[in-house]
């Protein structure tokens, strides 16, 4: 056996012989409990399955009572291995822990406690088992005496307390792993199931857990890492339905990382879950604009060239493609442009160099006595940002070129002197666009009579 008991496998643990009789002598287990353990322990799997079918809740009660009352490490490991074996063979057996005959037993408490107390084997098995048990809890209408009901004098651990304890432990494993190679995969695997629960999502965001996922979103090649990446992306996908989590995703580097993964992955399930996430985020906040800046439309085009077999993925790619096209249109609308100018901070967003935008929206500049144009010209005096100045010069040159009376209007608003000053600016991008604007102003003489007509 390994010197570090945390490295044990279930098979190694189950080779041990536990002195059940001694525990009965010291009254740590009952006579009935001893009978059940003798009947079950070391028997073939098919035989044990029959015992669980016949009287599953009784065996569960014995296992839980041992974990509650006995603290010897080898015994705790052994019982956890028995429960893990039982649930691995049939996950629906987790429902046995919620049987009405156990309604006065705190089936959660031992596992929650062991998350923090035991070696790695004990922690890992406790995490897996309690996640399965809480996942199979009955809905309110299925039972009146579900675990946590008030028909007991004892304090019984509630579902909310289970989620709180689990999320806290899982977040800790991602921050400070108990095991160098197994903590993170174990935590992510459990989260990929737990985060389907709304209360777990809320607690995970409160624990500042979203940022712990981001470093794990990275292109990988080996099989073990692919599974971890898939489960991490699955967690992000589930969180992409939850508004408070979306706010965290928006302020992290999640989007460029997701796009890098989808560009570099050939694993269909990874591509699928990332594309579904991107589709969810597309119309949230500034994600759409960021996606266009990160050239996602081209990535989607490339992905559509693959022969995917998953119909959900193909449909999601089509929806994402259409959504990105709509977003480009929306970004290129005059209202968006107006908002950008009025805020006084300009950047090379798609609309500035889009000839269709200028052609379709040139008359909109006339609204409110050329309000947007006047603000654009004011920016030339007031802004210290080279990018903003360069874009403002370029936009003025576009207005001069596209509006029938562009030159006269711009001159009338005293813009020429301001642009000429910028031809001596220290930033090359600014001088280049100021020069373009001046050239177009001087070439527009044939429209000079427009305002005098």
Measured distance CA(66)–CA(75) in Å, rounded: 8
Name the pLDDT band for 143 (thresholds 50, 70, 90): very low
The reported pTM is 0.73
**Cβ distance 267 to 235 under 8 Å?**
no
Q: What is the pLDDT of residues 69-103, one digit of tens each?
A: 999 999 999 999 999 999 999 999 999 999 999 98
Calpha distance 370→376 (Å, rounded): 10
Q: How far apart are CA 236 and CA 381, in angstroms?
A: 45
Between residues 449 and 340, which one has the greater pLDDT?
A: 340
Report pLDDT digits (tens) over 242-255: 999 999 998 899 99
Which of 119-123, 147-151, 182-186 is predicted least confidently? 147-151
Per residue in 343-360, pLDDT tens? Answer: 999 999 888 988 888 988
DSSP secondary structure code for residue 30 in this structure: -
Inter-helix orientation angle 109-117/120-135, to 10°: 150
At residue 196, the pLDDT reads 94
Mean pLDDT, residues 412-417: 93
With a CB cutoff of 8 Å and minimum separation 6, the contacts of 8 are: 1, 2, 77, 121
| pLDDT band at residue 339 under the 50/70/90 scheme | confident
Give the chain's length: 453
Query: Could you give the angle at the alpha carbon of 323 between the alpha carbons of 317 and 327, nearest 5°?
Result: 145
Neighbouring C-alpha atoms within 13 Å toward the C-beta of 337 = 25
Q: How confident is the model at residue 146 (pLDDT cuts 50, 70, 90)?
A: very low
Percent of the chain with pLDDT over 90: 78
Query: Tens digit of pLDDT for each residue in 42-61?
Result: 999 999 999 999 999 999 99
Q: Between 213 and 222, name the one with better pLDDT.
A: 213
Per-residue pLDDT at 100 = 93
150 pLDDT more than 50? no
pLDDT range class, residue 222, cuts 50, 70, 90: confident
Task: Give the per-residue pLDDT at 20.
Answer: 96
Rounded to 10 deg, the angle between the 415-422 and 367-382 helix axes is: 30
DSSP single-letter state for residue 176:
S
pLDDT digits (tens, 9 = 90+) for 263-285: 989 899 999 999 999 999 998 87
Judge contact between 268 and 307, C-beta under 8 A: no
Q: What pLDDT score was predicted for residue 155?
A: 78
> Among 82-91, 144-153, 192-201, 383-392, whose mean pLDDT is lowest?
144-153
Tell me what pLDDT residue 272 has: 97
The pLDDT-based confidence of 286 (bands split at 50, 70, 90) is: confident
pLDDT band at 142 (very low <50, low <70, confident <90, very high): low
The residue among 288 and 228 whose pLDDT is bigger is 228
pLDDT of residue 140: 64
For 380, other C-beta atoms within 10 Å of its C-beta total 21
Q: What percent of the chain has pLDDT over 70?
A: 93
Q: How confident is the model at residue 447 (pLDDT cuts 50, 70, 90)?
A: very low
pLDDT at 331: 65
Mean pLDDT of the chain: 91
Q: Indicate whether 449 pLDDT > 50.
A: no
C-alpha 208 chain-centroid distance? 12
Report the alpha-carbon distance of residue 138 to residue 79 in Å, rounded.
24
> Does 235 score more than 80 pLDDT?
yes
CA 341 to chain centroid: 33
């Amino acid at each position: 056996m390994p010197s570090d008991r945390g490295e044990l496998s279930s098979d190694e643990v189950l080779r041990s012989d536990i002195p059940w009789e001694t525990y009965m002598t010291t009254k740590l287990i009952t006579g009935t409990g001893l009978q059940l353990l003798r009947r079950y322990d070391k028997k073939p799997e098919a035989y044990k399955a029959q015992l669980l079918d016949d009287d599953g809740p009784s065996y569960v009660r014995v296992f839980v009572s041992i974990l509650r009352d006995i603290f010897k490490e080898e015994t705790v490991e052994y019982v956890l291995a028995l429960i893990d074996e039982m649930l691995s063979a049939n996950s629906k057996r987790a429902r046995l822990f919620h049987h009405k005959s156990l309604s006065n037993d705190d089936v959660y408490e031992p596992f929650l406690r062991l998350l923090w107390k035991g070696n790695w084997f004990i922690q890992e098995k406790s995490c897996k088992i309690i996640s399965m048990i809480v996942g199979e809890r009955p809905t309110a209408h299925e039972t009146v005496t579900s675990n946590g009901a008030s028909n007991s004098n004892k304090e019984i651990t509630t579902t909310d307390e289970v989620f709180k304890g689990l999320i806290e432990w899982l977040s800790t494993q991602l921050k400070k792993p108990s095991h160098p190679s197994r903590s993170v995969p174990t935590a992510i695997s459990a989260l990929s199931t737990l985060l389907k629960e709304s209360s777990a999502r809320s607690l995970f965001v409160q624990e500042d857990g979203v940022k712990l996922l981001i470093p794990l979103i990275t292109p990988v090649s080996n099989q073990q890492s692919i599974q971890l990446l898939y489960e991490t992306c699955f967690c992000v996908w589930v969180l992409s339905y939850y508004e408070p989590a979306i706010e965290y995703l928006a302020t992290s580097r999640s989007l460029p990382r997701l796009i890098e993964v989808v560009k570099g992955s050939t694993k269909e399930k990874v591509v699928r879950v990332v594309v579904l996430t991107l589709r969810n985020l597309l119309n949230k906040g500034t994600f759409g604009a960021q996606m266009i800046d990160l050239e996602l439309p081209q990535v989607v085009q490339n992905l559509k060239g693959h022969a995917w077999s998953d119909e959900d993925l193909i449909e999601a790619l089509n929806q994402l493609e259409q959504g990105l096209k709509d977003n480009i249109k929306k970004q290129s609308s005059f209202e968006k442009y107006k908002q950008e100018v009025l805020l006084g901070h300009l950047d090379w967003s798609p609309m500035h160099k889009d000839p269709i935008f200028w052609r379709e929206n040139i008359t909109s500049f006339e609204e409110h006595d050329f309000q947007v144009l006047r603000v654009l010209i004011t920016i030339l005096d007031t802004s210290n940002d080279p990018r903003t100045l360069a874009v403002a010069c370029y936009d003025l040159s576009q207005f001069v070129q596209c509006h029938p009376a562009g030159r006269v209007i711009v001159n009338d608003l005293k813009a020429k002197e301001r642009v000429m000053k910028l031809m001596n600016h220290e930033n090359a991008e600014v001088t280049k666009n100021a020069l373009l604007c001046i050239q177009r102003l001087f070439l527009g003489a044939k429209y000079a009579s427009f305002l005098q007509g």
